[in-house]
Every structure is written in structure tokens, then in C-alpha cells.
Amino acid sequence: MIAKTLAVLMLAAVSFAQTKPGPGARLDALKTYLSLTDAQVVSLRTLAKQTRGNNADERQELRKLRRSSGTEEQIAALRKQLQDSRSALQGQVANILTPEQRAKMVALEDAAKMAPAMRQAMALGLLSPEFKQARKRAKK
């Protein structure tokens, strides 16, 4: 049972990782996995878009500092600013999700941490054929 649950979570993590990121990215798999309502999807997209817009200048400045002679202190300060913004976004997202959905997100984050090991296991042929076939179906 645990192995099947883990395989499902890992499959979800892989399918999400292969989704093209950005404002127009499809959220079908995430919507299904978390049982998101249409209103929640709209709210999540709006928050993500606002955060990207609010952080655009900081991200551009960080790129410029990395390419030029920016000091470690300047780079660290901008990174902290962006991290604080991500933390604020995560807090807002938590307010949109139900307790059950938040629990599923934790499980998804845990599965995503296993993605490198999963790719290596796939490369060595260590995953069961059922898992590989489910992964192929998820790509379609």
C-alpha cells in the first residue's frame, strides 16, 4: 500500500515537473490531485501573476548584480527579499487551500524531493513496469 501511494505521489511530482511553467501553464493535474475548485485556480493564478509582477524588478536587479560586480551583501539582500516574497505567497496560498489540500501539498513537496532518486532508478530500470506505463499515460 505504501509503495503504491509513493508511486502515485512520485508520478504526480514528475508530471508536475514536466508541465511548462508560466502564467499559461495548464493546471489540470494539480487541479485534479488537490481537488481544486475553479475559483481556487483563478485565485492561485492571480496570486502567482501578482507575485511575478511584484518581483520582476528584484529578479532583474539580481541577474544584473550576478553578471556585474555586485557584492555578496547586495545579492544576499535581494535573495532574502525574493525569499520573503515567496514565503508571503505560500502563506496566501495556504489561506486559499483547505486543510486536506494543504496536506496533499505537503505530500507533493515530499514526493518532489525524491525526483532525482526516481530519475536515477528509472535510468537503472529499477522501477516496476506499472509505474513506467502510468508515467507514459500521464505525459499524454
Q: Measured in whole angstroms, how far is the alpha carbon of residue 114 from the centre of its chain?
A: 13
Instruction: Tell me how far CA of residue 45 lies from CA of 10, 41, 52, 71, 75, in angstroms.
Output: 24, 6, 11, 34, 28
All three cell numbers of 67:
553578471
Question: Quick check: 12 and 33 in contact, CB under 8 A?
Answer: yes
Q: Write the DSSP assignment of 50-84 as a string of letters.
A: HHHHHHHHHHHHHHHHHHTT--HHHHHHHHHHHHH
pLDDT by residue (tens digit) across 96-110? 999 999 999 999 999
Overall pTM > 0.75: no
The predicted structure's pLDDT at residue 10: 55
pLDDT by residue (tens digit) across 68-83? 877 888 888 888 999 9
* Amino acid symbol at 74: Q
Instruction: Tell me how far CA of residue 56 lies from CA of 29, 60, 71, 82, 95, in angstroms.
Output: 27, 6, 20, 10, 24
The predicted structure's pLDDT at residue 31: 93
Confidence of residue 128 (pLDDT cuts 50, 70, 90): confident
Residue 84 burial by Cβ neighbours in a 10 Å radius (0-12, 13-18, 19+) = exposed
